[in-house]
Amino acid sequence: EFFQQMIYYTGRNRHVPMLKLWLGTVPVMAMFKAETIEVILTSSKQIDKSYLYTFLQPWLGLGLLTSTGNKWRSRRKMLTSTFHFTILEDFLDVMNEQANILVNKLEKHVDGEKFNCFFYITLCALDIICETAMGKNIDAQTNDDSEYVHAVYRMSDLVHRRMKTIWFWHDVLYLLFKDGRDHRRNLKILHNFTTNVINERANEIKRDEEGKSDGKGMNLSKRKRKAFLDLLLNVMDDEGNKLSLEAIREEVDTFMFEGHDTTAAAINWALYLLGCYPDVQKKLDNELDEVFGNSDRPVTSEDLKKLKYLECVIKETLRIFPSVPFIARGLNEDCDVGGYKVVKGSQILIIPYALHRDPKYFPDPEEFKPERFFPENSMGRHPYAYVPFSAGPRNCIGQRFAMMEEKVILSCILRHFWVESNQKREELGLTGELILRPLNGIWIKLKRRNIDAS
C-alpha cells in the first residue's frame, strides 16, 4: 500500500519539487523530478544509504551496496575492473546455456493455456548469477528444490517485511518473533553456502599454483570457467592488499542478492509489454531475423552490439517498470535542493517509477514506445530523467552485465516463441518491495514463432 500511496501522491503533485512525509519521527523527502534528484545523485558527499539498508547488513555485510565513505570508495575502485567488458564476455556461454534450458522448459506451454512465467525466468536468472558470481552450478531450473534457492527468496521477503515493521527493527526484539528466528535460520544457510564455495575455490587456486611450481598442475582457466569469485580472490587495493575472505563473501552475497531478482523482473516485464504490443514485437522479430536468420546459434558479443531495437525495448521496459522502485539515501549534512533547505539526518526517497512518468520528458508516459530511446529522440533529454540503474558515483556497477543477460535471454525466448498477454495493467497488482513485482504474476500465452506470427 505504501508504494500505491506514493504513486498516488506523486501523480497528483507533479507541480511541486518534492514531498515531505514522516516515518515516525524521521522526515522523509520523496523526490520524483529530474532537477531535484540530480542534486542528490551527483553529489560525491551524499553517498550514505538510508537507515533502512542496515537490515540488509546481516546478509550482505558491508559490501558495495551497503558500505559508505572510504570503505565504499576503495572497494568500488577495486571492483570496477572486475566488470570490464572483456571479462563480461566470458560469461556469455553461461547465459546462452541457461537461456536454452529456459526455452526447453517453456516448450511445453506452446499453444497451451496462459501460464505464469515469473518463476521460470527467476530460476534462470538465479542459475546465471550463481555460475557467474561463484562458479557454482546449482541447477535451480531443473532442481527447484534447492535449499539455497529457497533461502534467497525467503531472505528477500524477510528483509522487506522488517523494513516496514517498526517493532522488528530492534535486533533482540526481532528474535522473539517467528520472522526473526526464520531470518537467523536462512542467514545460516546462505552464509554457509557462500563460505564453502569460497573456501573450495581458494583451495583449488592454491593447489593450481602449487601444481604449476612442480609442473604437474592443470591450469584452472582450462579446467573451469572464470567467475567473479576468481577475480575477487586476486584483486588488490592501492596498498597491494588482497580482500579478506569475509570481504569476498560480502561482495559475492551482494552480487547474488542484486544480480538475479532485478534482471528477472526486467525480463518478465519486457515479455508482458511485448505481449500487449504486438506491433512492437513484430519490429523486434524483424531485427532478430536480420541478426540471426533462422539459426538457433548462441548469441555472440557481436550480436549484442547489433540488437539495437532490443536494447530500446529493454530501456523502455525499465522506464515503465523500473526493477528498483525506490532508491533511498540518508543526508549526512544540510543540503540545498532547488532552493529548499533539506536538513542533515533526513531520509531521501527517490522514486524512479514516478520520475520516469514525467510527461515533460516522456509524453504519453504510460504508452510503451521503445523509439523514445533512439539516439535522435534521446538528445537533449535531462540526464537524470531516467535512472533505472541509479546514477552518479553510486550508480549500479553491474548494469552492463544486466543488459547483456537481458538481451541474451529475451532474444533466445523471442527467436522461438511469439508472446501474447491479456492482462490489463490494473490486473497486475503492482507491488513495490525490494524490487517491483506483479503480485498476481505475469500470465502469457506462447505460440510457435514463424515469420508471419502477427
| HSE-CB for 50 with a 13 A CA cutoff | 18
Amino acid at 49: K
Q: Say if CB 28 and CB 346 are below 8 A apart.
A: yes
> 169: how many CB neighbours lie within 10 A of its CB?
15
State yes or no: 396 annotated in a binding site.
yes
Tell the residue number behind the cell numbers 541457461, with chain if given: 98
Give 195-199 contacts, CB < 8 A, sequence gap 24+. Answer: 195/245, 195/249, 197/134, 197/135, 197/136, 197/229, 197/252, 198/134, 198/229, 198/233, 198/245, 198/248, 198/249, 198/252, 199/245
Task: Report the distance separating Cα 402 and Cα 91, nearest Å.
Answer: 11
Instruction: Read off the amino acid at residue 402.
Output: A
In three-state form (DSSP H/G/I as H, E/B as E, the rest C), the secondary structure along 265-295 is: HHHHHHHHHHHHCHHHHHHHHHHHHHHHCCC
Strand 335-337, strand 417-421: pairing = unpaired
CA 193 – CA 249 distance, rounded (Å): 10
Distances (CA, A) of 317 to 168, 247, 267, 321: 34, 34, 9, 6
Tell me the DSSP string of 411-427: HHHHHHEEEEE---GGG
- As a whole number of angstroms, the distance between CA 25 and CA 399 comes to 35
Question: What is the distance, to the nearest Å, from the Cα of residue 161 to the centroid of all Cα atoms in its chain?
Answer: 19
User: What are the phi and psi torsion angles at 296 (to 5°)?
Assistant: -115, 40
Q: Tally Cβ neighbours within 10 Å of residue 95.
A: 26
Q: What is the largest CA-CA distance in the chain?
A: 72
Mutual angle of helices 399-416 and 245-276, in 10-degree steps: 40
Instruction: Give the chain's radius of gyration (CA, Å).
Output: 22
- The C-alpha atoms of residue 87 and residue 369 are separated, in whole angstroms, by 32
Beta strands at 347-350 and 26-31: parallel, antiparallel or unpaired: parallel
Output the CA–CA distances (angstroms, integers) from residue 116 to 417, 437, 442, in the order listed.
Answer: 15, 13, 5
Binding-site residue set for heme: 396
Residues within the annotated binding site?
396
